[in-house]
Chains A and B, each alone.
Chain A
Amino acid sequence: MKIAIASGKGGTGKTTLSTNLASFLAEKFKVVLSDLDVEEPNSGLFIQSDLIHWEDKYKMIPEWVQSKCDLCGICREVCNFNAITQILDEIMVFPELCHGCYACSELCPMDALPMKKKKMGELRHYVKGNLSFIESKLDIGEEQAVPLIAQTLDYIDKHFSEDIIKIYDSPPGTSCPVIEATKNADFIILVTEPTPFGLHDLKLAVETVRALKNDFAIVINRFGIGDNNVEKYCKSENIPIIAKIPNQRKIAELYSEGKLLYSEIPEVKRELEKILKFLNSVNIGSFQNLTELKGEGTL
């Protein structure tokens, strides 16, 4: 069971929900929590656990072998990302522009651009009781989050069986990183806040998950602040709101210290119980009833 926690807008409470839900569920079940916001991963700040494994993560980029090259120019021509250029009699590769498509490497008639590993980030694997926590962090200066997200998901698929609950704390936005993090999830929970910014970005997020044809539901965070337009929107679109985390300064304070909420704030625990009940009610993997409620993809 793979549950992705996402949102269009940043700072709506993805990490808060992911860490609290994962820890809460881990009281009864085996759970894997993974922070896929590899640009700014924060879940680890809220989960105290033991590091059991870490590894560097690499992407593949071509490396020029001067002695083999006859400067035919095919590599430059085939690169759609302008990541290869020729200056005088030298071929230069710009790793930050390279998408690792292998075209230059495999189409080079002289075999002069073999693919080599380049470090792009790190993955860490922590454990605390029932909870496994996997965190990946992109190296500063690396611009592309997608390959690291993909490798992190591969790591999880390799190390944990199908039946374990997996919670993915996803990156914000609606572009490629969030698509990569959520596309293979069985269910997506969109976290929003009841404000004009929250609603505007929620609509984008809904458009995104509908394009992915994934099943989803909404959790409203900071409930009580702002207005009720998010609720009106969800009603008109037939999107279930499965929990409402109240707006309280005490919650903001606990968050600021890196503390989990549900053991101290009964209302939060109650909302997590509602989410668990909801997840139990939808047969993850088939979701007959929810499928009917979905609109068409709009790409």
Chain B
Amino acid sequence: MKEIVVISGKGGTGKTSVTASFAVLGGKNIVTADCDVDAADMHLLLDPDFEKAEDFYSGQIAVIDQDKCTNCGKCAEICRYNAIPFENDQYIVKHLDCEGCGYCARICPENAIENIDNNVGQWVESNIKTGTKMVHAKMKVGAENSGKLVAKVKREAKRIAEEENKQFILVDGSPGVGCPVVSSLSGANYVILVTEPTVSGLHDLKRVYELVEKFKIKAGCIINKADLNKDKADDILKFLKENNIDHIANLPYDEMFTAAMTAGKTIVEFGDSEIKGILEKSWNKILKI
């Protein structure tokens, strides 16, 4: 079993559209995981049935029992996150600011603070239109950055892949270089970088690749909208060569991606197109890696 993770550094480069296309092309051989739990979109293209959903808890948050509280203010004093303001004659915990360190509960002389498990969202197991399974998640707004939920989604995808003897786990990662991305990359066998020939595309590709290198994972790159700026596309190719990153394909700038998305389809299901052909070839290339 191989785990392929698709990331981009920069958002909006076409990562999810490309990943969902590969999920369709790979068909029954694949368990798909949407690890962009912060703004998960892949389900919009793959018709999941939300067969099984479970709450996911990660970390804790503090709750003050106002009956026991004597307003001594020690909790607010030690809180490094300024999460315990004094409002309307009482100390309250601002849940969006509380990191769940538990320090306040430990030092409260009245034992008036309790740490409760924090529900950060749900993870979902679905059957999708390719006749196989997908694991995805919905994080609660403002929840602690999603590294642990990402890890959970990946673990469940791996379990299904093992149970059902699937060849691949295909992971849609999140933008950035922080915890969710680190979590998406851990355990991957191959990374697909989706980028675009813009100043930001290249800048973010370089940063995220620094992270990939730390994990020592072999990587390949798809340049989306490659004909938008030839000079920048050349700069990307140069960067790939210097770093021994496979150049998987160039995709042309084509609004058909959006038209397919608007119809709730991946581009490989949306009639015959140049892009469909390129993605089919790309997938075959990836299978051989």
On A, residues with C-beta under 8 Å from B are 8-12, 15, 37, 39-40, 42, 45-46, 78, 80-81, 99-103, 106-107, 138, 140-146, 171-177, 179, 183, 195-197, 200-201, 204, 207-208, 211-212, 225-227, 247, 249, 252-253, 255-258, 298-299
Any chain A CB within 8 A of the CB of B184?
Answer: no
Contacts of B261 in A (CB 8 A): 195-197, 226
Per the bound structure, the CA–CA distance linking A141 and B225 in Å amounts to 29
Q: B258–A195 contact, CB under 8 A?
A: yes
**Interchain CB contact (< 8 A) of B96 among A80, A179, A256:** A179
Would B232 and A39 count as touching, CB distance under 8 A?
no
CB neighbours of B80 from chain A (8 A): 100-102
Q: What are the residues of chain B within 8 A of A226 when measuring CB–CB?
A: 258, 261-262
Identify which of B106, B177, B200, B264 contacts A39 (C-beta below 8 A).
B177
Given contacts A9-B12, A176-B145, A256-B228, contact A80 B60 (CB under 8 A): yes
- Whole-angstrom CA separation of A78 from B60 in the bound complex: 13
- With a cutoff of 8 Å between Cβ atoms, the chain B residues found around residue A45 in the complex are 199-200, 203
Measured in the bound complex, the distance between the Cα atoms of B176 and A11 in whole Å is: 11
- Would you list which residues of chain B between 1 and 30 have a CB under 8 Å from chain A? 9-13, 16
B147 x A42 contact (CB < 8 A): no
Q: Does B207 contact A (CB under 8 A)?
A: yes
Contact of B103 among A9, A101, A144 (CB under 8 A): A101
Q: Is the CB–CB distance between B44 and A40 below 8 Å?
A: no
Are the CB atoms of A177 and B145 closer together than 8 Å?
yes
Given contact pairs A10-B11, A80-B101, A211-B142, A143 touches B258 in the complex (Cβ within 8 A): no
Interface on chain B toward A: helix, strand, loop, or mixed SS? loop
Tally of A-B Cβ pairs under 8 angstroms = 190
**Residues on A with beta carbons closer than 8 Å to the beta carbon of B177:** 39-40, 138, 140
Q: List 9 A-B contacts (CB under 8 A).
A: A10-B39, A39-B177, A40-B9, A40-B204, A143-B179, A176-B145, A197-B16, A256-B198, A258-B198
Q: List A contacts of B139 (CB < 8 A).
A: 174-175
If A143-B178, A195-B261 touch, whether A102 touches B103 (CB-CB below 8 Å) is yes
Complex contact A78–B102 (CB within 8 A): yes
Contact B142 A175 (CB under 8 A): yes
B210 touches A299 (CB 8 A): no
**Is A80 a contact partner of B59 (Cβ separation < 8 A)?**
yes
B107, closest chain A residue (CB): A107
Interface string of B58-92 (1 = CB under 8 A from A): 01100000000000000000101100000000000
Separation in Å of the A269 CB from the closest CB of chain B?
A: 21
Contacts of B78 in A (CB 8 A): 102, 106
Assuming the contacts A140-B211, A176-B144, asked whether A255 and B198 have C-beta atoms less than 8 A apart, the reply is yes
B141 contacts chain A at the CB level, 8 A cutoff: yes
Query: Contacts A9-B11, A45-B200, A101-B103 given; 5 further ones with Cβ under 8 A?
Result: A9-B39, A42-B204, A80-B60, A201-B41, A225-B258
A181 vs B175: C-alpha distance when bound (angstroms): 17
Contact of A258 with B229 in the complex, beta carbons under 8 Å = no
Q: Which B residues are in CB contact (< 8 Å) with A142?
A: 178
Residue in B100, B107, B141, B197 whose CB lies within 8 Å of A207: B141
Q: Which residue of B lies closest to A16 (CB)?
A: B200
| Residue in A145, A197, A227 whose Cβ sees the most chain B Cβ within 10 Å | A197
Residue B174 at the chain A interface, CB threshold 8 Å: yes
9 A-B pairs with least C-beta separation: A11-B12, A10-B11, A101-B101, A39-B176, A173-B38, A258-B199, A256-B229, A256-B198, A103-B103
Could you tell me if B41 and A197 are in contact, using CB atoms closer than 8 angstroms?
yes
CA distance A177 to B146 in the complex (A): 11
Contact across chains for B229 and A257 when beta carbons are under 8 A apart: yes
Chain A residue nearest to B183 in the complex (CB): A143
Are A40 and B10 neighbours in the complex by a CB distance under 8 Å?
Answer: yes
Interface residue B95 (Cβ < 8 Å from any Cβ of A): yes
- CA–CA, A15 and B199, complex, Å: 12
Q: Is B251 an interface residue (CB 8 A)?
A: no
Q: What's the minimum C-beta distance from B44 to chain A, rounded to whole angstroms?
A: 5
Judge whether A299 and B178 touch: CB under 8 Å.
no
Contact B102 A10 (CB under 8 A): no
Cβ distance B280 to chain A, nearest Cβ, rounded Å = 23
CB distance from A175 to the nearest CB of B (A): 5
Q: Give bound CA distance, A174 to B145, whole Å.
A: 9
How far is A200 from B140 in the complex, measured between Cα atoms in Å?
Answer: 14
Tell me if B47 is interfacial: C-beta within 8 Å of chain A. no
Query: Which of B106, B141, B174, B264 is the most central at the interface, judged by chain A CB atoms within 10 Å of its CB?
Result: B141
Q: In the complex, are the beta carbons of A174 and B96 less than 8 A apart?
A: no
A140 near B204 with CB under 8 A, answer no
In chain A, what residue has the closest Cβ to B147?
A143
Tell whether, in the assembled complex, residue A99 and residue B99 are in contact, meaning their CB atoms are under 8 Å apart: yes
Q: Which residues of B lie under 8 Å from residue A174 when comparing CB positions?
A: 38-39, 139, 141-142
Known contacts A42-B200, A138-B177: A10-B142 contact under CB 8 Å: no
- Is B143's beta carbon under 8 Å from chain A? yes
Give Cα A99–Cα B79 distance, bound, in whole angstroms. Answer: 12
- In contact, B142 and A176 (Cβ under 8 angstroms): yes
> Which residue from B106, B176, B208, B262 sits with its C-beta under 8 Å from A107?
B106
Residues A78 and B262 in contact, CB atoms below 8 Å apart: no
> In the complex, what distance in Å separates the CA atom of A164 from the CA atom of B207?
32
Q: Is B163 an interface residue (CB 8 A)?
A: no
